[in-house]
Each structure stands twice: as C-alpha cells, then as structure tokens.
Chain A
Amino acid sequence: MKQVALEYHRSVGRYLAGRAITGTRLGGRAAGSVAAGLAPLRVVQRPDPTLPASGWTRVRPLLSGICGSDLGLLTGRNSPYLASLVSMPFVPGHEVVGETLDELDGLPRGSRVVLDSVLGCVTRGLTPCASCAAGKHGRCDNITTGHLAPGIQTGYCADTGGGWSRQFVAHRTQLHAVPDELTDEAAVLVEPLACAIHAVRRADVPTDATVLVIGAGTVGLLTVLALRAFTKAGPIMVIAKHARQRERARELGATEVIGSDRALRTLRRKTGGFVVKPEIGEEFLLGGADVSFDCTSGSGLTTATRATKAGGTVVMAGMPNTDVDLTPVWFRELTIVGGYASSGEDFPDAISLAQDAPLGGYVDAVYSLRRWSEAIQHATSAGRLGSMKVVFNPRLD
C-alpha cells in the first residue's frame, strides 16, 4: 500500500538558495514565500512504513503541527550542524496526535496517542547510553546508529516517517495515551508544551526571580504556562510582537507584555538598572532579568544576553539559527542553558497541564497535506495573522 506524505529530500541548491535569500532582511520578510517556493519539500506517494522491530506500531496522524524548527528547515535557516544527524529523504512532523494501528503492550490498537518524537537508544534497539539510562533521552549519543537510520527525532529520520503523512511508525516508549477529555487540538500541543516544561526545568528558576520570555509564538506562550505551573517565578515579562500574542501571554500569566520595538527600555523600567548604548551595535542593560528564555528561532538570543543581569541564566528554548555576539555572556558571567526536547516526567506533566490550561483556540488553521504550500506560508506569518498553531490534518482531501 502507498500513502500520501510530504517528503523533504536532499537538494543542496535549494537549501543554499533558501538560506541565502532568507538571510537578507528583505528575504527574511518573505520567508513564507521562499519556503513555499524553494523548499525541497514535495507531495509523494510512499509505501507504508514497515515496523522496524517488535514494540513498534503504525500511527495514523489526526493532527500534526508545524513547528518553528520545521520552518527553519524549509527556509534553510536551520544550522548545517544538524545535517549529519538526519537521514533523507524524510517526512517531517513531530508534533503529532494520532491513533495507533497495532496492538502494543499496555496500549491497545486504536488508542489516541501523542508522540514523544526523540529517537533514543531504546527505539534504536541499543543498550541505553548513560543519558538514556538516566531518562534523558534527548541527550542520547546514539542517534546515528542502531537499527534506524540517523535522525534526532521522528520527523527527521528516513525510516520512521513523520507526522506530515497519513501513516508513520513509532516505538511504544515514544507514545503517551491521551485522556478522553483532551481534544485533538489540545493534544497536538502536548509535545511543544513538554519541551517548554523541559526548558523551564533546565533553568532551575529561583523563587521570585524576574523572568523574561522573548517571543510569544507557541514556544513562548507555553513557556509562560510552564513557568507559572512549575516554578515560583516572580514577575514574568514577555516580549511579544503581535496583539493576539500579547493577549494570550497575559491569559497565561505574564505579568507584563512588552512590545518588541523597545523591549530593553521597558524591561529596564520594570527591573531597574541602566541602559548602555555602545557606539556600534545594540544597546544592553546593566541589570535586567534573572532568567531569560529565548523562545524565538535564535533572533531573540541577542536580546536575551543583553537583557539578563550579571550572573543570570539564558535558556535557549527555541532552535537557534542566527549568529550572536557572546561578549555579554563573558562579561556578565551568564549561564547559557540549552533546552532541547523533553525528558523524564515532562510529557506526562504536559498532558496533565494541557487538560487544565486555557489552550482553546490555539489551533486555528488546519490544512490538508496537499495544501502544504499555503500552510507553510500561513505558519511563517502566524503571529502577524493572529494564529497560534498551524497544523495539518492528513485525513483531509
């Protein structure tokens, strides 16, 4: 049997062209069109993926989200660092709510599940490395070996398929049953929420700390939610570009929402300290937030390092794809913390939190796979268009 999927294939020319164009100011503004026109993504008829081993099941996606890292991939903005950690061609899509098509231990066929997309040692049929053994499979050292092709996650691995299709395969350890109360629209947010919880836990936010969240897309907003749920943070300041994002941030517990045009000035008023303007380059704070979360695709990292007080922490919650001057990290003795994927109890906690959180209306744009070009353009401009999460429903068409 063959099934429809969106396939990302190797094309150095398209990758470089996309990267070159979106690297310019004008091209950056037209990133959606660039992704739609130049991305090496195509609709294909693929054979159904085969189960790699026992303990795996086929999954039929119900909804599959478009993540910032997907957009970085399609616009060529993602770092080439990751190129050797994927196998092509692959089907993107790692934010998935779906139904299982096979019986699994403790998970009957037809179960509604969400996907923890990381492909660690267990999924690869390997003896767990130290990180996987410690429950931190996001740090797995074996992501290029085992009985699967290389791939950091489902959605980047040639053997597993991905959410932007009508079927893919997943290991039992990757799947979490979805309670009946959780709608598909809320469930598709569980993976990014788990990542947000993970980033928040990585920071070890002190009680009453002043927190800055840069970016109010899905990751930023869910980070605010996680901060309120799992820390005793004090004021949470959110830098948001768009009106709808600002409303959402306040709903989720932001103390203050700051426009992106004069974020540092406003932050200084809230947290104290001085603004310093170098003769060349952007201004920075002497003072600022205790902990900053960069929830952009790296564009906010410069702001984060310049807005965090000496001795503070900068958490990279979004996949970075821009160069950044690290002088403030040295001078202000900042701690930079990476926050990749999820681990431990992040997923169960995300499922639990998603049931209570005001996430209604977050999924407000649903596309069929064949309309991928429109979907990508929409997702690239989601903030401006007032959308939070754009998803595919592979069952449409």
Chain B
Amino acid sequence: MSRPGFVLEVDERTPALLMHQGEGFRLEKLPMGSRVIYPPESLPGLRDVDEEIRKALAAPVGRPPLSELLYAGMRLTIVFDDLSLPLPQMQTPDIRQRVIEHVLEAAAAKGVDDVELIAGNALHRRMTPAELKRTVGDRVYRSFFPHHLKNHDAEDKENLKEIGHTRHGEVVEINRRAAESDLIVYVNITLTPMSGGPKSVSVGLASYRSLKHHHNVQTLRNSKSFNDPPNSAMHHSYNRMAALLAENVNVFQIETTVNNDMFPKQMDFLNKREWEWNLKDQAAFLAVRRANELVPPAKRRQIWHRTAAPYGITGVNAGAPEDVHPITLKNVLRQQLTEVNGPSDIGIWGLPYICPYNVNSIMNPILVMSLSLGYLFNMYQNQPIVRPGGVAIFYHPVPNEFHSVHHPSYIDFFEEVLAETTDPVAIETKFEEQFATDPWYIHLYRNSYAYHGVHPLYMWYWGAHALEHLGDVIFVGGDRKTTERMGFRSASTLQDALEMARERVGSSPTITYQHTPPIAMADVR
C-alpha cells in the first residue's frame, strides 16, 4: 500500500532536502517552519499490462468494444501522444507501443487494410525516425514507416480539414486524414491533469488557426490552474472543441496513466523522501552527484536524456473521450495530489533537467520560464501555493543556451522580443502573427526538427497567470543576464533569495517547497 502525499513542516531534525537544479541537484536546508509538499508514494504498477489493455479494448466505457468498431474497408487512423510525454521518457517498451500493437492486431483480425499512424505533435517539433521507432516499437515502425507512420503537419494546408466552429466561434481544424477516417484511435499517456481527454485530438492534430483560440494570454490568465480542468478556461475551450469533434468524427480514446517511478534503480534516492534514505541511497547520492559534476556538460545532458523512467502503468482505460477521461484524471490525482492548508508568502521549486519541449534537447531560458511559471506554478487545485503578490523561488542555472535546430524561433524571441518587452499581452499583440506566419520558421517546422515559430510565445503565455499573480520571481543560481532579460532576478544562494524576497513579503515569510519531481500536485484549501 502506497503512503499518501503529505506536507512536512521543517524542524531541527529535518535533513537537508533534495532540490533539482537543471542537469544537477543539491541538498538544501530550508528555514524552520517551512512546509514541504510531497506527492503520494509511487503507486504499484499493473501486474499484467497486456491483459489490462485487452480488457480495456474489450470493455470500453461509452463505446462498443473496439473489435466491433473495426471492419474491412474502413479507414483507421491511430494517433498517439508525441515525445513530450511522458517525462522523462519511459523505459521500452513504451506503453504506446503496447497499446498500438493490440489495436493493430484487432484491426488485422477484422481485415482493416487502410491504417495510418500519426504522432499528435501539433506545433511541436517532428519526432525523428529514431524517436518514432522508440515510441511505437520496432515491429510497428518497420511495417508503417515512412508512408503510414508520420508526424502531424500543422502547416500542410492541403491535409487539414475545418470541422466547424464552436458556439464561441472557435475554429476547429484538424488533420484531414484523421478527420476523414471512419475511426480515430487516440493512444494517450496522461502525465498531468492538463493532458488527455478533450485535449488529445483537438490539440494534438490541430493547426495554428485552431490552437490560437485557447493558447492565448487571456485564456491562460483565466486557467486557474490549467491542471484543474473545471477551473481552466483552456479546458473549457478544449471541451467545446471536443464536443464539436464528437459530432463529426468517431474517436476511440485509450488513456494510460503512470506512477511516480521517474528515476531508475541506481538513482532511486530521487524517488524517496530524504529522511528515509538508507546508507545505499546516501552513497548513491554522493556518487551520482560527483559523477554528474565531473562529466563534460554535453555528455551530462546526453546521459540525463538517455535515462529512461521505469514507470509502472497505473491504468489503461478506453472508450468515449468524455467518459474515459474522468477515470484517467482520478488515477492521476491518486498519484499526485496532496492536500495543503492555504498558500504561503514564498513558494520554492527545484527545476529538473527536462520539460515537455526539450526531450533530447536543451532547456533554454524560455523553457525554464515555461517549466517554472507555467507547469510547476500551475500544479495546484483551488489556489496557488503562493499568495497573490508573493514570491516564487526557483532553482536553475538558466544558461543562455539554445538548440539551434529545435528552437530557432526561441532564439529570436529571446534576443529580440524579450529585449523589448516581457509583457505577455504586448508580446501577443505585436509579435504573435509575425512569429506564427514567418515562412522560415514554417519551413523549419515542416522540414527540419524545429518547434513552430509561434511556440516560444505560447511558452511565455504559459507563465502569464503566474506573472500576474506573483510579486517577484527569483532564480537561485540563475545566470544574471539571462534572468534579467526575462524580467526576473537571480540569487547565489537561498539565503540571498530570501533576503531579496523580504521587500515583498517581509522578514518572517511563510514558505512552501513543492518537492517535485516526482510530480506533486497541491490541493490548496
């Protein structure tokens, strides 16, 4: 039985606590009285995943069994979440591979010939052949790539289809192949409450034209948080779009969830609570930290990105998206949610080496912003862990470093746009169209492995709610110039950061450290 999440109050017996800091980590002594939010212990994984997949396909919710939806002569499109999920990547075989193989077996048994597989990458970069192979497995890859296993191309106008408009006037436009299929099977990994459900098809297969209705400052400022769908304007928009899609396309959603085993055995101490580290964990901590410091930076990055998570699968559920997703969300929250009593003056987060958009890549400053003020700040229900006007302290070196192939428009965004303004509304008003329609960025998105031109702006919007809510943002160990460019401050140590925060929160602030990863979601009462 896994122990539930809990909130620790730091006292004199509390050891130094682990703090992720980019491609490294450290132990940090927090001030007495600080609260630390820990997620529930990792849930046990399903014993027989294949059997669970079979059961889910045979007894879906809100849909007939998959085998009854398949017939010879039909067009079947299998869409799967791209490499932004899960984080870190899971050890092979990937759950998507296992599910897809079952779906393909069922399709073959029914004589379905016309099958295509599409990565639902929206405006993310294309997955490389090697990444596709890792996700769907060697057998599927060899059978379908390259003609029937593809990345979605949100700029291939010929192959997009407008489904219609929601009652709010939002255009729903998705991949034509999927839209014109008799059945879309969407294979998903719901890592956080933000993902899956209505988001899968309406976002994963959409175009910029369609995405801009919910990926904007206004919507994100009113998504409190975007990990709490009932209170997220973004999800309200997804729901409207999904409802329209449901009237026009037949979607069979297969959603999977994972537990919190994010680090492999040799780094198990990263999955544990510090005071429970045994001698072996302590030795592993020292050894890994030392080795990590000694490895050259490029090699270090490579090692981190190759370190796959030994996730256990906690759920496989299939059926109608609107019926499956609540079950999925329950599973996710069971693993991640911890109840917290009220917000504090200061919130602290250690930022890991990875976010959805730097898999096998570099965590550039914009992605640091989106991970910190977007993803981690928004890991709450009800209210943020920091009070309005409070201070967020993050741990990350924030190097001025970009991947020139994956993030070309990010570089321009950082150098030009942020030099002019950091205000999300001003950025959206003046620059969004330029970045979204720039032919070079579009060319690189379609033909190279670049994120879409507008993507860095979306990442900035991702932090819009936090920017509005917080009084100050400080990065411990952050590069001074880089953080300054983004409108934030940097401090050498936590003590310095707390000293700087005094201007906003006084000399005796309440402090909450959201200990993640593994992922902890705060239910702030």
Q: Which residues of A contact B (CB under 8 A)?
A: 262, 265-266, 268-269, 272-275
B525 within 8 A of A: no
Assess whether A269 is in contact with B439, with CB atoms less than 8 Å apart: no
Partner of A275, one of B415, B416, B434, B440: B440
Interface centre among B412, B416, B438 (most CB of A within 10 A): B416
Once the chains bind, are A274 and B416 in contact (CB under 8 Å)? no
Q: Which residues of A contact B438 (CB under 8 A)?
A: 269, 272
Contact code string B388-426 (vs A, CB < 8 Å = 1, else 0): 000000000000000000000001100110000000000
B443 at interface, CB cutoff 8 A: yes
Contact between chains at B439 and A272 (CB < 8 Å): yes
CA–CA, A269 and B410, complex, Å = 12
Question: Which residues of chain B are near A269, meaning CB under 8 Å?
Answer: 412, 416, 434, 438
Across-interface contacts of A265 in B (CB, < 8 A): 411-412, 415
**Chain A neighbourhood of B439, CB < 8 A:** 272, 274
Contact in complex: A262, B415 (CB < 8 Å): yes
Q: Give Cα A262 to B411, complex, Å.
A: 10
Question: Contact between B415 and A266 (Cβ–Cβ < 8 Å)?
Answer: yes
Give Cα A275–Cα B404 distance, bound, in whole angstroms.
12
**Which 8 residue pairs of A and B lie closest in terms of their CB atoms, listed nearest first?**
A274-B440, A269-B412, A262-B415, A265-B412, A266-B416, A269-B416, A274-B443, A275-B440
Query: Told that A262-B411, A266-B416, A272-B439 touch, could you supply 17 new A-B pairs with CB distance under 8 A?
Result: A262-B415, A265-B411, A265-B412, A265-B415, A266-B412, A266-B415, A268-B440, A269-B412, A269-B416, A269-B434, A269-B438, A272-B438, A272-B440, A273-B440, A274-B439, A274-B440, A274-B443
* Complex contacts, A268 vs chain B, CB 8 Å: 440
A265 to B440, alpha carbons, bound, how many Å? 11
- Nearest B-chain residue to A265, judged by Cβ: B412
Q: How far is the CA of A272 from the CA of B453 in the complex (A)?
A: 13
Q: Which chain B residues border A274 with CB–CB below 8 Å?
A: 439-440, 443
Q: Which residue of A lies closest to B435 (CB)?
A: A269
Q: List 21 A-B contacts (CB under 8 A).
A: A262-B411, A262-B415, A265-B411, A265-B412, A265-B415, A266-B412, A266-B415, A266-B416, A268-B440, A269-B412, A269-B416, A269-B434, A269-B438, A272-B438, A272-B439, A272-B440, A273-B440, A274-B439, A274-B440, A274-B443, A275-B440
Tell me how far the C-beta of A229 lies from the nearest C-beta in chain B, rounded to whole angstroms. 28
Q: How far is the CA of A74 from the CA of B412 in the complex (A)?
A: 39
Tell me how far the C-beta of A22 lies from the nearest C-beta in chain B, rounded to whole angstroms: 31
A residues within 8 A CB of B415? 262, 265-266
* Chain B contact surface mostly: helix
Q: Looking at the assembled complex, report how far the CB atom of B250 sits from the nearest CB atom of chain A, in whole angstroms.
A: 41
Residues of chain A with a CB closer than 8 A to B440's CB: 268, 272-275
Residue of A nearest to B409 (CB): A269
Q: Please give the residue numbers on chain B whose beta carbons come within 8 Å of chain A beta carbons, in ascending order.
A: 411-412, 415-416, 434, 438-440, 443
A residues in contact with B434, CB < 8 Å: 269
A275 to B450, CA, bound (A): 14
Closest to B411 in A: A265
Contact partners of A262 in chain B: CB under 8 A:
411, 415
Cα A262 to Cα B402 in complex, Å, equals 14
A254 → B minimal CB distance (Å)? 15
CB distance from A69 to the nearest CB of B (A): 33
Q: Complex Cα distance A273/B440, Å? A: 6
Please give the distance in Å from A47's CB to the nearest CB on chain B.
Answer: 58
Distance (whole angstroms) from the CB of A251 to the closest CB of chain B: 19
Distance, CA A275 to CA B434, complexed state (A): 16
How far is the CB of A210 from the nearest CB of chain B, in Å? 16
Instruction: Give the distance to chain A from B161, nearest Cβ to Cβ, in Å.
Output: 29
Q: How far is B21's CA from A361's CA once the two chains are assembled, in angstroms?
A: 49
CB distance from B413 to the nearest CB of A (A): 10
- CA of A274 to CA of B440, assembled, Å: 5
Q: How far is the CA of A268 from the CA of B439 in the complex (A)?
A: 11
How far does the Cβ of B76 sit from chain A's closest Cβ, in whole Å? 38
**Complex: how many Å from CA A266 to CA B416?**
8
List B contacts of A272 (CB < 8 A). Answer: 438-440
Chain B residue with minimal CB distance to A285?
B440
Residues of A within 8 A of B412 (CB): 265-266, 269
> Within the assembled complex, what's the spacing in Å between the Cα atoms of A185 and B127?
62
**Bound CA–CA A273/B439 (angstroms):** 7
B444 → chain A, closest Cβ, in Å?
9
CB nearest to B415 among chain A residues: A262
B12 to A: closest C-beta gap in Å = 51
Q: How far is the CA of A269 from the CA of B415 in the complex (A)?
A: 11
A268 to B440, CA, bound (A): 9
CB distance from B40 to the nearest CB of A (A): 47
Using CB atoms, name the residue of chain B closest to A269. B412
| C-alpha gap A268/B435 in the complex (Å) | 12
Measured CA separation A268–B411 after assembly (Å): 13
Chain B residues within 8 Å of A266, by CB: 412, 415-416
Q: A266 to B440, alpha carbons, bound, how many Å?
A: 13
- In Å, the complex CA distance between A227 and B438 comes to 29
| Nearest CB of chain B from residue A283's CB, rounded to whole Å | 10
Query: Chain A residues near B416 (CB, 8 Å)?
Result: 266, 269
Please, which residues of chain A bring their CB within 8 A of the CB of B411? 262, 265
- C-alpha gap A141/B366 in the complex (Å): 59
Complex Cα gap A274–B446 (Å): 14
Minimum C-beta distance from A282 to chain B (A): 14
Taken together as a complex, chains A and B put the C-alpha atoms of A273 and B434 apart, in Å, by: 13
What's the nearest-Cβ distance from chain A to residue B404, in Å?
Answer: 8
**Whole-angstrom distance between the Cβ of A301 and the nearest chain B Cβ:** 24
Which of A266, A269, A275 has its CB near the most chain B CB atoms (within 10 A)?
A269
Closest to B417 in A: A269
Chain B residues near A275 (CB-CB < 8 A): 440
Bound-state CA distance A265–B415 (Å) is: 10
Bound Cα distance from A274 to B412, whole angstroms: 13
User: Which residue of chain A is the closest to B439 with respect to CB atoms?
Assistant: A272
Bound CA span A269–B440, Å: 9
Determine the chain B residues whose CB is within 8 A of the CB of A273 once the complex forms.
440
Q: Give the complex CA separation of A269 and B439 in angstroms.
A: 10
Q: In this complex, what residue of B is CB-closest to A268?
A: B440
How far, in whole Å, are A121 and B411 apart by their CA atoms in the complex? 55
* Distance between Cα atoms of A245 and B440 in the complex (Å): 30
Q: How many angstroms between the C-alpha atoms of A262 and B438 in the bound complex?
A: 18
Please indicate the chain A residues that have their CB under 8 angstroms from the CB of B443 in the complex.
274
Q: How far is the CA of A269 from the CA of B414 in the complex (A)?
A: 13
Q: Give Cα A68 to B417, complex, Å.
A: 34
CA distance A265 to B413 in the complex (A): 11
Cα distance, A358 to B87, chains bound together (Å): 58
- Of listed B411, B415, B434, residue having the most chain A CB within 10 A: B415
A43 smallest CB distance to B (angstroms): 45
Tell me, in angstroms, the Cα distance from A274 to B438 when the chains sit together: 10
